[in-house]
Structure 1
């Protein structure tokens, strides 16, 4: 908990953010806003996905920054905040914790409505698997309830070859099932699937309880990990003591 408090103190007001809240439209007809976190390995295409979703061609790429980047804009009649989370796999634990907490904080006060895992259509790489494991270990199991897979292509997303691959690849199917089957195939050069994706996120917001992943949930996940580690240490110490006792008896 002290580490989380230090991160909060260190990064207060220093998040890398583009497009200020002050430009947000005040229309009475705009739908409820959505806070999304784009995650995935290096080179997965998070910035390309952000450009496609927001319809903005000039966005700062997270690949050139080790910090989270926040983009905002109106999409399909609603205000959308997109936070690009840099790849976590292979980073020191402190950096992983810092960026993970930062991405949640950038969605305060409401929280993250969905984690959008960006994956190019194709077999999962070792880096993909490592990134997935790091995300799940860091945010804990509740993150799966708020995760959607965004498969990206640069061609027709309804092409039989795309659908057949996603249905027949065992690793892809297991991944989708772990996220409640929530997935969308997006042609990053075409915006027609954006509405489908946002509607799926809206279902999470409406039907999940709680409706978003918050900083409190992140903190609770870290507390539970610490408790689990402490219990494991106690178990190991008890086993060691038992082994010492048996060794002493056998030597007599």
Structure 2
């Protein structure tokens, strides 16, 4: 390979410039230990490492807000600065800063460059000294799921310790260059070009159109489904109404049967069976106007049971009255016998007959 072109991407303070200096083995990019954005514009530096020529493009920190279009436009210049395009994007992420904001930045970068860029991306973890004795593999086993998903989409990862006191910089650089070269060899398209970036916008527009068509189709289906549900709901309501009306007819039949079973034949000067029928006729009228509601049907059944109980109590009272009248008749009969013995007038006899 004549030249290996590398672009550094990441949030402000992630360690892009320091990592670029490590790769070039020279302090060509300005760094500072503060939170202000040091790199304002894209800058490219070239160096020869071993027998390989390396060009590194440092970029400003990726903006937190999508409204900062000027910064994004400046970052997009990195593609032109290493024409025909970078072989690899190094997504710089510090160890220990796997916050939602950091993860969102990586996702925004990958979204901006499109899925074609995923084949040309490596995650570069900085501050490797914070791992101490733990390996990066063990460290990533317990990391959050979003970061694991990002690792699956990218073509690999590497760890840098830009503050290596043992001066193992060369072994770090040699290791990452081997990973980059293997990745480039495996890619059918050796580098990410400006055409890929432009096609990304076209595909995004096509995807938006496809989603719009799908949403329209889903909307039509939902409307049709809703109309079907409405018809089925009306049909179900009619069936339920028929079922309740059938229940009312069954209740009426049961009332008629109980009326016939509980009719009591009494003398005309006492309570007649027509009176009990009249009470039940009131129940009929009440049923005619009752709501077709299950609770009302239960109330009607309860009323029927109550009327039946009243009839039984009333029958008991009539029996008691008959017993009283019989006792009175017996008393009058005894008195009549006494009157006959004493030859008194027969008016008591007439009274007894009336009783």
Give the TM-score normalised by structure 2.
Answer: 0.54
Task: Give the 3 Å change call, closer, same or farther, for CA 223–93 of structure 1 in structure 2.
Answer: farther
Query: Which of 204, 207, 213 does residue 225 from structure 1 map onto?
Result: 204
Alignment partners' CA distance in 2, 1:214 and 1:154? 31
Q: For residues 56-92 of structure 1, what are the alpha-carbon distances to aligned partners after superposition, in whole Å with 9 as ceiling and x for unaligned?
A: 2242359334432222212232111111232144142
Pick from 159, 166, 170 the counterpart of residue 140 of structure 2.
Answer: 166
More deviation in 126-135 or 95-104? 95-104
Q: Whole-Å Cα distance in 2 between the matches of residues 186 and 166 of structure 1?
A: 15
Higher mean C-alpha displacement, 197-206 vs 223-232 = 223-232
Offset from partner CA, 1:127-154 (integer Å, 9 cap, x none): 2112112112111112111111111125
Unaligned ranges ≥5, structure 1: 1-30
* Change in CA separation of 1:203 and 1:50 when aligned onto 2, cut-off 3 Å: same
Deviation at 1:206, TM superposition (A): 1.4
> For the residues of structure 1 that align with 2:154 and 2:184, how far apart are their CA atoms?
15
Structure 2: distance between partners of 1:74 and 1:101: 25
2:83 paired residue number: 108
**Alignment pair present for 1:92 and 2:67:** yes
1:142 correspondence with 2:116:
yes
Distance 1:147 1:179 in 2: 5
Q: How does 1:207-222 map to 2 (within 5 A)?
A: 207-222=186-201
- 1:187-198 equivalences in 2 (<5 Å): 187-190=161-164, 191=169, 192-198=171-177
Shift of 1:44: 0.6
Change (3 A) 1:231 1:178: closer
Distance between the aligned counterparts of 1:224 and 1:96, measured in 2? 23
Q: Of 122, 127, 133, which residue of structure 2 is paired with 1:153?
A: 127
Measured in 2, the distance between the counterparts of 1:38 and 1:203 equals: 19
Q: 8 Å contact 1:100–1:138 — kept in the other structure? A: no
Unpaired runs of 5+ in structure 2? 231-355
| Structure whose residues are more often strand by fraction | 1
Aligned length: 218
> For 1:195 and 1:178, how far apart are their aligned partners in 2?
24
The two structures have a TM-score, normalised by structure 1, of 0.73
> In the alignment, is the contact (CA less than 8 A) between 1:101 and 1:215 conserved in 2?
no
Report if the CA contact (8 A) 1:52-1:189 is conserved. Answer: no
Asked if 1:124 corresponds to 2:98, the answer is yes
Selected match of 2:48 from 74, 78, 102: 74
Q: What's 1:57 paired with?
A: 27
Q: Is the 8 A contact 2:128 2:159 kept in 1?
A: no
More helix by share: 2
Mapped pair 1:48 → 2:18: yes
Q: CA RMSD in A?
A: 3.1
Is 1:179 aligned to residue 154 of structure 2? Answer: yes
Paired with 2:71 and 2:30, the residues of 1 have a C-alpha distance of 21
